[in-house]
Amino acid sequence: MFWLSHHTPDEWHRCYAIGPVRLCARCLGVYPTMFIGIVALFALRAPLEWPLDVPVVLGLTVPATADWAFGRFRPRAFSNAWRTFTGVLLGLALARTLFIHLQRPFPAVLLAQFALVTAVALPVILVTYRRSRRV
């Protein structure tokens, strides 16, 4: 059931098990928070620009990104509760950037968030890929 968990059996420790169903711990924090956040921002008619958008969004993005990167090298380093918590923070960040993006495509805050995640993810993916090829 890919839509509930994108993890393979060797990564099921990153999921909550509800009977036979696996739910990705971080996604469980990200998606509900993101959807509720977007709805709330529209309902509150939030402004499209806040002075601290970029630092706040990047600050909320860092924990999940760092946890993911660290987890590629030490898969059992953190708990699912921690993954869910960092997912909630990421969900808040994504809610803000997507709220703006839906009204003004590709705002600076979204591009900054993309650059941060790419700057972390690309080297981690390359290093872990090289390690897996050596085995």
Domain boundaries, the chain: 9-134
CB contact set of 7 (below 8 Å; sequence gap of 6+):
14, 15, 22, 24
Under the banding of pLDDT at 50, 70 and 90, the label for residue 131 is confident
pTM: 0.88
Q: With bands split at pLDDT 50, 70 and 90, how would you rate the model's confidence at 1?
A: low
pLDDT of residue 8: 82
- Dist CA 20 CA 9 (whole Å): 12
Nearest in space to 53 (alpha carbons), one of 97, 87, 95: 97
